[in-house]
Each structure stands twice: as C-alpha cells, then as structure tokens.
Structure 1
Amino acid sequence: MKKTLILILCLFLCTVSFARKRVKVACVGNSITYGIGVSDPDKESYPARLQQMLGEGYTVERFGKPGATLLNKGHRPFMQQKEFKDALAFAGDVVVIHLGVNDTDPRDWPNYRDFFIADYRALIDSFRVANPECRILIARLTPIADRHPRFESGTRDWHDEIQLAIETIAKYAQVQLIDFHAPLYPYPFMLPDAVHPDKEGAAVLAKTVYEGITGDFGGLQMPEIYTDNMVLQHGRLLTIQGKADAGEKVTVSIDRQQLQAVTGADGKWAVDVRPLKAGGPYTLTVSTEKRKLVYENVLAGEVWLCSGQSNMEFYLNWSATAAQDVPQAANSNIRFYDMKARWRTDAVEWDASVLDSLNHLQYYKDTRWTVCSPETAGNFSAVAYYFGKKLQDSLQVPVGLICNAIGGSPTEAWIDRSTLEYRFPAILRNWMQNDFIQDWVRGRAALNVKKSFNKLQRHPYEPCYLYESGIRPLEQFPVKGFIWYQGESNAHNRETHEKLFRLLVESWRKNWGDAELPFYFVQLSSIDRPSWTWFRDSQRRLMAEIPHIGMAVSSDRGDSLDVHPKQKREVGERLAAWALNKTYGYKNVIPSGPLYKSVVFSGGAAYISFDYAEKLSTSDGKPVRTFEVAGDDGLFYPAQAVVENGKIKVWSDKVKEPETVRYGWQPFTRANLVNGAGLPASTFRAE
C-alpha cells in the first residue's frame, strides 16, 4: 500500500512538472527578428511582443543577426553566425524562421539563387537534428517598400522570386508557412526605412506568429459585407469564405445546401455553393461549434460595384428629377451596400485622430446592406440607383449595388499596390510632388494632412489608398461587373490616364479572378475646361482597346460651370443599356449613340461611318452642328454636315482638301448628333 502511494505521488509530481514545462520558441532571422527599427528590442521586437502574447507557458528567445543571409554563399550567412549556434543549443520546441530579405542584395541573389532552396532545407534539417520533435514555421518575407533605393534595380523582382522559393520549401519540407508580407503590405508607414517594421509593425508580426503557433484567429469571422438584406450573385458557383480558428470545422447552409470546410493553418476557409436561383428570400447560416452567424432576408440576383469620384457619389436627392423619383424609390428587390467616407476631402485641415485613422485604412464608415426605399435611396448614388433600377425593371431579378465612390479621387488611388509597383512605379514616388498626379489632387491632399508630422502620412488620394481601404475589404465578394464614373481628377494628363485606366481594369479583374468581368464607364461630360476635349476622345479610344468594356456618353448632359451636372438619370440608364446589351444579351437594347468608326476623304469632303448609326438625326431637329475640318496646315474651320446614306458628309468652303475632321471639339459642346434611340454621338477627332 505504501509503495502504491509513493508511486501515485511520483506520477503526480511528474505530471505537475510536465504541466509546468514551458514550450521553447526560437525566433530565427535577421535584423527584423533582432529588432532593428524599434527603440528597445528587448521589449518591442516581435519576439519580445510574442512572449507577452503567449504568456507563462512559453519561453521565447530571439536569434536575429542583422545583415544575415539565408544563402550560405551570401555576404553574411546565418549558418556561420554565433546566433545560429545559440539557436541550435536552445533546441526550441517551436522554431520560427524569417530569412531572405538580405538575400535580395545584388551581391547575393544574382550569383547564388540556385542554392537558396537547398540551403534553406539544410537550415531546417539542422533544427530537426537539434530537436527531432520541433515544430517549424517559416515566414514569407516582410515587404520592401518602393522607397528602397534598389527597389527597381532588382530588389522588387528578387524579393518576389524568394517568396515563391519559400512557398516551395514550405510545401516540400513539410513545415508550416506563415505570412509576414500580407499583414504589413498595405501599411507602408510601418516601414519607416522601407525595410524594418517599427514598433507597431513588430506587433503585427508577433500577432501573426501567435496565430500560427496557437491556431487562435479569434474564432469564426465573416467579411463585413456579409449582413442581413444582402444580395448574392445568382446563376453561378458562389464562393463563400471567411476566417476561423485553425482546424475548426465550418458549416455553411443556404437553400437546402449544407457544405463543410475545415479551416487551414492560416485561419482561412472557403466553400463553393451551387448556383442559386434568382429571388429569395434566403437564410444563410455559417457556424462552428463555438459560434453561429445567421443572415436573414438574403436575395440572389445581380451584384454590381459602382465606383469612381464625386459624380458617382452624387446623391439621388441632388439630381434633377429627385422630386419625382425619390418618393417612388421603394423597391425591396433593389439593395444597397453604401460605403461612405468618414471624412470628406473638403478644403480643411484634418486633426491628429483623423490622420492616424487614415494611416490604418479606417476611412470608410461601417455600413450594412439596406433595402431600397425613399429614405435609403435619397442618400445613395444617383447614377448607381438609375442603373440598378433599369436593370431590375428589365431583368425582373433582385439587384445589389455596392457603392464606394470618393469625391475628387484620382484613378491611381483605386489600383492595387503590386500592379503599380511593377507597371507604373514612378507614380508611387513622393506622390505629393509628383507631376503624374494632378496638381489639384496634390494640393487638396496637402491641405488635408497639413497637421501631420509623419513623412509617410497617408491620404485617400494617394496611389493605392482607395484600393487598400475600399476594394480589399470587399474580399472578392462575387459581383457581375463594374460601373465607373471618374476622370475629372486625371484630365490634366490623358497619356498618364490611358496607362492608369488599363491598369485599373486589369487590377480589379485580377482581384475578382475573372479577366472578362464587364467594366462600363462614363465619358466625361461638358464643362469649360480646355483639356476635356482631348480627354473625352482618349476615353473613346480606350473603349476600342480594352475587351468587355463600354462607354456611356454624357457630353449632352453637362454644365458649362458645374463639374457636377444634375441630370443623372440618363447617365445611369445609358450605363444600364450597355449592361443589358453586352452582359445580358438584350439585342433589342441599343447600348450607345453613334461611335466614330472610320473616315474617307474624297472630293473635298469627309464621309464618316459610325457604329450604332441607325436612323442618324439630330436631337433638336436642327442641322448637324459642331463638325470642323482641317487641311494639311492643321487649321480647323467650322463645317457643314448632313446625313447621307447612313453616313455623315462634312465639308467646308475654306478647306479644299480636308485631312482631319473633328466633332463636338469644345470643352462645353452643343453637339446634337443622335441615333434612332435618341442616344448622343461621342465627340471625336479623326485623321
């Protein structure tokens, strides 16, 4: 009996001793692991912050060597440093490795890139020898900002090559991959010297490692855009995704479908719902053992993202026909997800709390899906409302409209960072003194952030900003397509805009993983601004160069003095005509007014052919006006024009042999050519 009691006591003591054994975590890396970039590495480095988060059950040690390379032939190989020997002696139960940033040095990657995978595998194996039971996590590299002096000369490209190599290593070495890149990438102010995270950035890395080790991602979470009253895209496989703790089983139920997924080590899960039939209402339920989320009054229908600047933001309450349209706006088959700015970019100086929120991408107000009513529609985008109403009337299915337009915003603010880093890096540099960016845009931003002492202070007009604060949070919520009304803040430089607009369309299609998503945009209207003639023609030409795109003409609905013309119904309905014809196959709907196709010069006259030219006439019954022609001297003269055999014949007594013709070539034009559908011709210039 005595021996039994002694044995039980020994077992108890062993159990207590085992329970009290602290898990050893070795953080291995370079200067970022060491803590360069923070004022007190012993307290503020990411391993120090990780210790605070993990608590007493863990012992975290940092083994960071500033300047260390992963490559053993590099300029400072980690495996030849004292920190490596110390890490082996520590024999961690968990080893977190973040190496490769310094391998982007031109002394290293160009010469020794072929050894990277083998050297990394050797490093991993060495820790497994030191502790055969150890768990190893390797990190995708922290970002290197475009401000780095070697960014374009190699660092940008080599950094991405190393990221791909790390992903390959994680897969074949059977170690856990964690991501140090994505959490920091949209926050360049956390990298003051373009490489090393500051105190806040180090805390972000610590949280990433904590989640990777513990699998604690805060439980079941859905993107903010999932709320009651939402519209889900119907008629196609529907991906629903979210986050939960690692290994949690997630169940998604809708329309007699029940699907399950197991959350990955990165906290992400996704299921594919079979196509939903248009209509509803449906109930969407997402649950784990610990939490259940229920979304009521969900419809399936057509979902469109409506974006741009102030003319898309312009409220229905302000439109010319608001008095009659707003009271009649009740329609439960139209739903709004209205993303409004917390602070308008008016001519004011923002205070410190605003500036800090901007840096953290907290620019949009919290919002929810709402049902269309006089109360909700009045303060929603007029163009988006008229677009959605025409679609709903024609298709007889629910329509969901997401609007995130921001007044004054330039195109570059809506493009993702990676696209600009690779395709237009010059626009990222010192953006408030950058001539690629319109001077009004730079001036207004400078005024808004005047009270900031942060050299990396962010602003909604900054390149990438609205993508990061207004597109990323949508998390690829399935949409049918996009409508866009913007250009006023890029009209100073049509050549730059031509490049940016292509990148914008590519960027959004890439984000949603569909290269054929329709993108319908509004050509700038008329106003007394000299550059707008060329800009409108540039927009027209872009339409012919980008697939799955359409342009709504608005020059006949402009205002000579007001950049915000109030006649929005026609604009929204013209966008809807493009969607009905091209996206939904309604061939009886004419998508556009006459669009210039070709010109032939013969017998002292120009003979112009158009697309969408059935029943050419004028909007006011008067002769065709605003055509001009020029000879080889480049001097334009007013011309006469008549409809002849489905074409327009143009001539002037002052130009015997015309070589160039243009139409509506006035900033504020009174051009009057229309087709049988009453839709106006686009202004143009042709040689």
Structure 2
Amino acid sequence: MTYKRISSVLFFSMMLLSMLCQHASGQESSMRVARIFSDNMVLQQGIYAPVWGWAPPGVQVRIGIGGKEYTTVADKTGKWLVRMEPMQVGGPYTLSVSCDGHKKEYGNVMVGEVWLASGQSNMNYRVGAVLSAGEVIKDANYPDIREFCTPEVVSRTPHDDLTGGEWKVCTPETVKGFSAVAYFFARALHLDKKVPVGIIHTSWSGTICEAWISAEMLYTIPAFKNRVIEEVYKSDEDWAALHQLGVEKDKERENIVQTTQAGLKQGAHKLSFNDKSWKEEAYPVYPPRVGLGGYQLLWLRKEITLPKEATGEDLILHLGKVMTGDVTYFNGVEVGRERWDGVRSYRVPARLLRKGKNVIAVRLLSEWGNGRLGDEASDPYLHSADNRVRISLKGQWKYNGEIEPKLPVGRGYSNNVTCMYNTKISPLLPYGIRGFLWYQGEGNSGQPELYKQLQPTMITDWRIRFEQGYLPFLFVQLPNISGGSCQYFREAQAESLELPNVGMAVSIDVGDPYDIHPNNKKPVGERLYLRAKELVYKDSVGVFQGPVYDSYQIEGNKIRLKFRSTGSGLMSKDGKELRTFEVAGEDHKYVPAKAIIDGDDVLVWSDTVLKPLSARHAWDSNPAVNLYNKEGLPATSFRTHKE
C-alpha cells in the first residue's frame, strides 16, 4: 500500500471520524495540558518536541523550559501546540505552561530517549514477577529511567487525552509495576548510552493487533472493512459503559474466589472426605483437558502413604508449576496459598504428618483456560530437607469441578476493533519519541496470514500519526511454546522486516514451553536493545542478532545454507550435533537432517533424501534450537521454500 493511497484514505476517514469524536477539547473553559506531561517526564532529545493542550479559543499560551520561551494561540477549537527547539540530553528542568492567569509547572524533567512500549500480556508482564525478581528489584535504583503507564480505558471513538497516569522515577519501590521487557530495554540503553530513558507503557493483556489500529487504517484491510463500518461508524454503543458491566462481573467473580466456602463446608480438604465418586487424571492436571476450561474453581486430591520414619520432622511439599492460583491443604490444614503463575513449595509441619494414609488437597483457580497443576517439566514430590524422605506425587489425582460455584465472566471490550488505538495511542499523539517496542501476537497466533497484513498496517498507521517519519519499530518474535503451530506465526511476524527501519528480537530459546507468560524477560528486553543499538543508534561494532538465514544452494545430496550476522562464527550452543534441521525432496516430505557448520554456512542432508530440494530449521512450535553465533544469539525458524 502506498503512502499516497493511505493519505487519501485517511483524509476521507478523518472527515467521518470528526463526526464521531466524543471528546472534543473545544468545550474546555480553562487551560489544561495533555496528561502525558507531568513531573518526572522525559522529553525526546534532538527533535522539535511537541507540547500541547487546550485553552479558551484565541488565548495566548506561553511555554518555558531551560531559559527558552515559546508562545502560541489556542485555535478556534481550543487546541494549542508548540514544537520546542531541539534539546540535548540533560536536566532536570522545569517545564512551565501559562495562559490567561493560569500556570502549570512540571519539575524534574529530563531530556533523553523516549520509547513507546505496547502489546499484550508479555509486554504487560511486570518486573515484580520476573525470574530472580528480588535481585532485579533491589538493584533498580535508576533515577534517570522513568515510566508512564497509560490507564486501562475503552472507547469506540478516539480520545484526545488520557484519563490519568503519571511519570514514575525508577526505584526499588516503584519498579515492581514497570513493564519488565521495557525496563530491561531501558536499563540496557541507559547504561550503554548514559542517557535518561523514558518508557511510555501502553500495553493491555490479551489484546489483539486489530484493536491497536485506527479505524481509518483498519478500513483499508478488506477483512475488516465491514466491521469498521458496522462497529465503529454506524454503531452508537457506549463501549466504556458496556465494558464496565464486564468489570462488575469480574469483581463478582473475584469476590466468589475470595469468599466461597463450599468446598470447606463439604470437607473436601479433609483426610476423612469420601472422594470415591471423583474422576481421575494423571499429573500434570490441565483443567481444559478434562472439560473444565475458561474460569473454574476445582478441587484436586492426592492420597499418599507415609512410613513412620517420615513423620518426625517437617516436610516440603513441592507441587511443581501452578497456574493461576491455589489454596493447598495437608490432612485438612492449609499449608500455603498463592495467586500467581509459578512453582509452589510449601512447608508441611511434622504435627500434620501421620503414618499411613495422608491426603493433599488443592483448590485450584484456573483462569483464561490456562489453569494447571504441574506441567510436563514438573517433578512433584514430598520430601525432607535432607532428601532422605522423597515421595513422588506423580500418578493419578482425583478432581471435581462441581463443588464450588460457577464463576461469572464479564465481557471485555478491549479487543473490539480500534479500541486500544482510541484510548492508548490516540491520546499520546504527537508526543516526541524515538521509536516503538512491540510484544504481541499470542492473541492472533491462529491467523498468521492475516497477521501479515495487520502488523505492517499498524506500523504504518502509528508512523503517520506520530508525524516523525519512519520511526523505528522493534518487535519480539514469539518464543517457544508447547503445542500449536507458532512457526508459521513467527514467519508472519518476520515479514514486517521488509518495511524500512523495522527490527526483530528473537526469543525462540527463552520461552517456557508450558507457560505462555515466560518469566525470563531480561534477555528479551536486552535483545530488543541490541536491535536498537544497530538500527537506531548506528553502532557499527559488535553483533546485534543471531544468525539470519540468507540463501541456499544445492550441492549434490546436501543443501548449503548461508547466513548473515554470524559474528565471530557459528556454533552449537550445547556442543552437541546441530538439531532441528529438516530436508525434503521432490515429494515435499520433510525428514530430520544431519547438519554441520562449514565456515559461515551450514550443510544439511539426510541419507534418505538423495536429491534434496528444500530445507527448514526450527520448524516447530517448541524447537530445541542450538545453532547460535559465538556472541550467544540464536537462529530462529526459517524455511527455504514456502509450500
């Protein structure tokens, strides 16, 4: 799609949109400044950074910072905007805005690098839940790193301003709530370039790409044209009010989770409870697999037998990974509870242990259809501190999803087309930024062909709206995950690299096969910065990504795969034979292939394919890749031919 065509579509559509906008600023009776401006803000260095707001029409507005003063006049709608002269890294400054006897001052303002971080739950994943969070939080004393987190609001039409939010300085007390991926990116940038870094965090868990695109641009994708007309232009629904009904349902659900006593009243946690009528499932137990998907409260019980010598000291109950919440009992007494995704280990006091029959009972909260007790990588057991006692908890567990009340689920509107653009992008326009960070795709992963249109359209949309040219767009390719066909989606994501100034961070080796929300966010953020370092900050020394497939040639019964970004050379990370390579002949049936490194190339072949025609690598949702460059960055999924 050409920019000329896009511009004409935008012109036509914006005329329609102007009739819909419910937040016209011309109605303001006194001065206000856009809410993205607050104490502790970071302004983008080296550009004509905009400052804007609203005032009575025709009134003069004065803006001052660092000894410079700018004046403008509010237009007939009340909107005013000033683009300040480019400033170099520095601060703290005070930014003042005054008009008609009113004055606002914002302190501790820094000038540095500003990035907008967006996406769904993996960008929304907070520092407080990451791997080794305690260490990360303790060391997070970076007063020149700041984050502005936009509020969660929905709307059918674009907002001209945010409903709240403020810039927060990074400290061990505040960093827990920062986006983890964005924080690790900002920290790497700050330490490397010695500049203040501002992150505008706009993500919303579970959202799909089409929610982040404006109505005008989404209209240009044939699959969405009618939806945009019907749901946006012709509709008069109040999405905010309807969304609030869903929020109330969610509150009702949470109240049930916190207060229900149904299982306890029946004694489901007790040793003496009769569970003979309950169904059984082998550990790990995934509620969706046994017909208990969505949002559920279910009980699980496991009977174990203890020898006398195991009852004299406290034991540790290791359940493996639990999602998303549990209350765990041993012989009728609660020994622990958590409300997060992760490994559970609870101490069982010796006084609860008895020779012979004992019962572990777990009230499990399953949310989003992703609940589980354990996973294929978990090894549950009850053990003593010295491991002389070690009793496996694998095997059959009994379960019952009928004891607790059904959980109500409210309909959210955050995934309606254009909704996230309307409330989390539109109000920020045209704040001065360096570029975009994007971690999204899980919500669209079943539609790779459509995503080939969605992501490039969104990139173009955002670039036009922010009016700063081909702003850099850096995205995270989805990590390894068990099940599904993520290889096709990774390929769809990578097609956006054909656009100018776009970079991709590979995370195929740092996911959790059994958790769509892996907690190892540090390498993800740092790999995003490596891409920025080369693409945006023009560093010429070093390697900034893993081996990138370039081309192939057939050499007898072998295929030579050529790579770029090989750095100091290719290697097998674990020292074992290269794996996850496949070749196919004229029948197009792929078989596992042998592979060896030959300089900056890889030779692949199979003794069963005498005339290979194509090859592929890591063509699986959860591949165990070991082809890296010596800088420690992995190669991702690719194929030489698209059948």
User: Quick check: TM above 0.5?
Assistant: yes
For residues 230 and 582 of structure 2, the distance between their equivalents in structure 1, rounded to whole angstroms, comes to 39
Report the counterpart of residue 471 of structure 2 in structure 1.
Answer: 517
1:578 aligns with 2:517: no
Deviation per CA, 1:386-443, whole angstroms, max 9, x where unpaired?
000000001101000011111110000000111112334636529999xxxxxxxxxx
Report the counterpart of residue 562 of structure 1 in structure 2.
Answer: 515
Deviation per CA, 1:365-400, whole angstroms, max 9, x where unpaired?
721001001121111111000000000001101000
Structure 1 SS opposite 2:463: helix
Structure 2 SS opposite 1:246: coil
TM-score by length of structure 1 reads 0.63
For residues 184 and 620 of structure 1, the distance between their equivalents in structure 2, rounded to whole angstroms, comes to 61
Does the CA contact (< 8 Å) of 1:223 and 1:475 recur in 2?
A: no
Does the CA contact (< 8 Å) of 1:449 and 1:459 recur in 2?
A: no
1:631 aligns with 2:442: no
Question: Cα gap change, 1:185/1:422 in structure 2, threshold over 3 Å: closer, same or farther?
Answer: farther
Report the counterpart of residue 461 of structure 2 in structure 1.
Answer: 507
Question: Cα gap change, 1:255/1:326 in structure 2, threshold over 3 Å: closer, same or farther?
Answer: same
Matches within 5 A, 1:121-160: none
Structure 2 SS opposite 1:286: strand
Does the CA contact (< 8 Å) of 1:341 and 1:406 recur in 2?
A: yes
More helix by share: 1
For residues 254 and 518 of structure 1, the distance between their equivalents in structure 2, rounded to whole angstroms, comes to 27
Does the CA contact (< 8 Å) of 2:228 and 2:417 recur in 1?
A: no
For residues 436 and 133 of structure 2, the distance between their equivalents in structure 1, rounded to whole angstroms, comes to 24
What is the deviation of 1:619? 1.5
Report the counterpart of residue 643 of structure 1 in structure 2.
Answer: 597
Report the counterpart of residue 552 of structure 1 in structure 2.
Answer: 505
What is the deviation of 1:617? 0.3
For residues 13 and 424 of structure 2, the distance between their equivalents in structure 1, rounded to whole angstroms, comes to 29
Counterpart of 1:596, as a letter, is Y
1:257 aligns with 2:68: yes
Question: Cα gap change, 1:320/1:458 in structure 2, threshold over 3 Å: closer, same or farther?
Answer: closer
Does the CA contact (< 8 Å) of 2:184 and 2:525 recur in 1?
A: yes
Report the counterpart of residue 18 of structure 1 in structure 2.
Answer: none
For residues 9 and 151 of structure 2, the distance between their equivalents in structure 1, rounded to whole angstroms, comes to 39
What is the deviation of 1:480? 0.3
Report the counterpart of residue 115 of structure 2 in structure 1.
Answer: 304
1:409 aligns with 2:207: yes
What is the deviation of 1:184? 4.5
Counterpart of 1:538, as a letter, is A
Question: Cα gap change, 1:578/1:159 in structure 2, threshold over 3 Å: closer, same or farther?
Answer: closer
Identify which of 657, 662, 686 aligns with 2:616. Answer: 662
Does the CA contact (< 8 Å) of 1:502 and 1:546 recur in 2?
A: yes
Deviation per CA, 1:508-530, whole angstroms, max 9, x where unpaired?
00110133100000000011232
For residues 158 and 277 of structure 1, the distance between their equivalents in structure 2, rounded to whole angstroms, comes to 37
Report the counterpart of residue 185 of structure 1 in structure 2.
Answer: 20
Task: Give the number of the structure with larger relative contact order, counting CA–CA contacts within 8 Å between residues 6 or more apart.
Answer: 2
Deviation per CA, 1:254-311, whole angstroms, max 9, x where unpaired?
1110111122212122222111120200010110122101010000000000000000
1:607 aligns with 2:533: no
Does the CA contact (< 8 Å) of 2:208 and 2:415 recur in 1?
A: yes
Report the counterpart of residue 278 of structure 1 in structure 2.
Answer: 89
What is the deviation of 1:451? 8.0
1:429 aligns with 2:227: yes
For residues 619 and 148 of structure 2, the distance between their equivalents in structure 1, rounded to whole angstroms, comes to 38
Report the counterpart of residue 278 of structure 2 in structure 1.
Answer: none
More strand by share: 2
What is the deviation of 1:531? 2.0
What is the deviation of 1:358? 5.4
Matches within 5 A, 1:234-249: 234-249=45-60
Report the counterpart of residue 538 of structure 1 in structure 2.
Answer: 492
Question: Cα gap change, 1:676/1:428 in structure 2, threshold over 3 Å: closer, same or farther?
Answer: farther
For residues 339 and 670 of structure 1, the distance between their equivalents in structure 2, rounded to whole angstroms, comes to 37
For residues 158 and 369 of structure 1, the distance between their equivalents in structure 2, rounded to whole angstroms, comes to 35
Report the counterpart of residue 618 of structure 1 in structure 2.
Answer: 572
Structure 2 SS opposite 1:648: strand
What is the deviation of 1:586? 1.3
Structure 2 SS opposite 1:514: coil
Structure 2 SS opposite 1:295: strand
Does the CA contact (< 8 Å) of 1:577 and 1:589 recur in 2?
A: no
What is the deviation of 1:158? 11
Does the CA contact (< 8 Å) of 1:537 and 1:685 recur in 2?
A: no
Matches within 5 A, 1:337-352: 337-341=148-152
Matches within 5 A, 1:195-344: 217-341=28-152
Does the CA contact (< 8 Å) of 2:157 and 2:422 recur in 1?
A: no
What are the ranges of 5 or more consecutive residues in structure 1 without an aligned counterpart?
A: 1-156, 165-180, 188-203, 343-356, 434-444
For residues 574 and 113 of structure 2, the distance between their equivalents in structure 1, rounded to whole angstroms, comes to 36
1:395 aligns with 2:193: yes
Matches within 5 A, 1:432-443: none
Structure 2 SS opposite 1:555: coil
Question: Cα gap change, 1:682/1:469 in structure 2, threshold over 3 Å: closer, same or farther?
Answer: same
Does the CA contact (< 8 Å) of 2:578 and 2:596 recur in 1?
A: yes
Report the counterpart of residue 181 of structure 2 in structure 1.
Answer: 383
Structure 2 SS opposite 1:307: strand
Deviation per CA, 1:112-163, whole angstroms, max 9, x where unpaired?
xxxxxxxxxxxxxxxxxxxxxxxxxxxxxxxxxxxxxxxxxxxxx9996698
1:653 aligns with 2:607: yes
Counterpart of 1:413, as a letter, is A
For residues 158 and 319 of structure 1, the distance between their equivalents in structure 2, rounded to whole angstroms, comes to 43
For residues 230 and 58 of structure 2, the distance between their equivalents in structure 1, rounded to whole angstroms, comes to 46
Structure 1 SS opposite 2:168: strand
For residues 405 and 277 of structure 1, the distance between their equivalents in structure 2, rounded to whole angstroms, comes to 29
Question: Cα gap change, 1:427/1:183 in structure 2, threshold over 3 Å: closer, same or farther?
Answer: closer
What is the deviation of 1:242? 1.7
For residues 228 and 198 of structure 2, the distance between their equivalents in structure 1, rounded to whole angstroms, comes to 38
Which shifted more, 457-466 or 507-516? 457-466
Identify which of 430, 433, 453 aligns with 1:476. Answer: 430
Does the CA contact (< 8 Å) of 1:629 and 1:636 recur in 2?
A: yes
Report the counterpart of residue 200 of structure 1 in structure 2.
Answer: none
Would you say how many aligned residue pairs link Structure 1 and Structure 2?
462
Does the CA contact (< 8 Å) of 1:528 and 1:668 recur in 2?
A: yes
What are the ranges of 5 or more consecutive residues in structure 2 without an aligned counterpart?
A: 1-7, 232-242, 251-410
Question: Cα gap change, 1:395/1:411 in structure 2, threshold over 3 Å: closer, same or farther?
Answer: same
Query: Cα RMSD between the aligned structures?
Result: 2.9
Kindly name which structure, 1 or 2, has the bigger radius of gyration based on alpha carbons. 1
Question: Cα gap change, 1:225/1:686 in structure 2, threshold over 3 Å: closer, same or farther?
Answer: same
Does the CA contact (< 8 Å) of 2:137 and 2:175 recur in 1?
A: yes
For residues 335 and 451 of structure 1, the distance between their equivalents in structure 2, rounded to whole angstroms, comes to 34
Does the CA contact (< 8 Å) of 1:427 and 1:463 recur in 2?
A: no
Does the CA contact (< 8 Å) of 2:61 and 2:99 recur in 1?
A: yes
Structure 2 SS opposite 1:375: coil
Structure 1 SS opposite 2:174: helix
Structure 2 SS opposite 1:469: helix
Does the CA contact (< 8 Å) of 2:584 and 2:614 recur in 1?
A: yes
Does the CA contact (< 8 Å) of 1:580 and 1:589 recur in 2?
A: no
What is the deviation of 1:321? 2.5
Counterpart of 2:227, as a letter, is R
Does the CA contact (< 8 Å) of 1:626 and 1:670 recur in 2?
A: yes
For residues 388 and 448 of structure 1, the distance between their equivalents in structure 2, rounded to whole angstroms, comes to 35
Structure 2 SS opposite 1:506: helix
Report the counterpart of residue 541 of structure 2 in structure 1.
Answer: 588
